[in-house]
Structure 1
Amino acid sequence: MIETYYASAYWGARKESPEDCGQRAEVMFNELRTIASDFSHWLKQGRSRNEALKHSIEADRATLTKMFRRGKDRMFEDLGFRLNGWNGADDHEASSFNIRAGLYAERIVNACVFYLPNAGPDNKEGPNAQRVLTATVLSELVRAMAVAWEPEWAIAASNSYEDLLPKPQLTRRLGWVTYYSDQVGRVPPLPAPVRMERIDDKGTLLVLTPERFTATNPEHVALANRVGELLDRAGLLGPPLP
């Protein structure tokens, strides 16, 4: 089975300008450069691969502000701004991102989503996936999103494990790496081998296992289920804040 992974952060209605979004994105991209080479260089998406490879994204505040302004919804102001890009790697070895920010419409969330390298059709991983899909890299990726966007929650997770969960995708849930803002509540004591870390005065980062979390490992699934029950009792799982 090919197990795929992603990382994302979510927050509720927050009216922000393109300048605000550009500043937050600059903070995030500056942090990403230090995490892995996969996150050090980004390209605009184009109509073809060759076209996209010609257009780098300069991740400074002024450039990012202009890109967010161009990504404004042309019909509805309250739908905020969009920005997306990728790192130019081949096929399943690529990383890409999609940001929707400055949105303040009801029943729609702001989000920063990273699609990560994974195994190819032959179920073999290349060097990019092996480098990125580690607890160290993904916890730093989630931390960068948490610091920059101040989300309600953020996650790095296995899609295969999430397929086992009964709750809808946009509810707060638990992943291999998870961040909960203090806005949603305090994280209770959790069993080993879960690692907990405070992120400034903003919230708490959890890492379930130091090795790669997989849905095919019954010990990993049992641990996630146990931790999930404790978080649910503490009110950390469930629908977004109003």
Structure 2
Amino acid sequence: MPAFSSLKFNFYVLWKKILRRKFFFLFLAGFILFLALFWWQGDFTYARRFFFYLFPYLFLLMAQDIFREEIDSGCLENVLFLQLNFRRYLFEKNLSLLFLGIVFSCLLFLPFLIGSIIRQEFSWSLFFSFFMGLLAGFYYLTLATGLGLKLRAGSNVLVVIVVQVFLFLSLFVGLTSLSSGRDLIDLLLSASPQNSREKLLLFFFVAFWPNALVSRSYSSLSLRLEILFLIIIFLGLQAWRLSRLELKRE
């Protein structure tokens, strides 16, 4: 089957699967309501800022249990029946998820873009923040799909969220109890490292929370290249794992 037909079939299956996920649409509705409340209260700027920082999580949630469900359920036999390469079919899910994530993100971004124009607050930096958010979303997507080859039942998403929660709790404890913690917070807010140690800390922070890239403070080319490099690493590891995947025969 041609590559385009394979992608079309992949997208169709993925879209049907996402439509069955009540939690994803519940999160999406809650996210929209959260932003609408800020906007309604007159804090349009804060609503827009929250949007940029939070919309990359849509990509993460869409990647929930995206591999194990089909691998364990025997659905891949249908892929073989259609004369498709099941390994390529699984890997192409990255493209289908990316496309869906971009569509959802653009639909959510459009009201803020129009609102910024109406309020005469338009700036080309809005597109920069949006594209950096898409990059962070693709990072989450490749990370979650890679974890999804081993973890099941949404554990791939849960692991990422739990790690981030511990990261921010650690920062909060450091801020309230240690003077060095305050220095670290200042570094993360300004994103202006003065030495190699601070650069390393910044790299680790962005790797754990790529959403920071939407901020102008994190416009450093090295940080963006770091995320691109990690995306390539995740995709490479995923392709390697899929190349070793064998279907269980009854």
Q: For the superposition of Structure 1 and Structure 2, which TM-score range results when normalised by the shorter chain?
A: 0.3 to 0.5
Judging by fraction of residues, say which structure has more helix: 2
By relative contact order (CA 8 Å, sep 6+), the higher-ranking structure is 2
Judging by fraction of residues, say which structure has more strand: 1
Length-normalised TM-score, structure 2: 0.32
The structure with the largest alpha-carbon Rg is 2
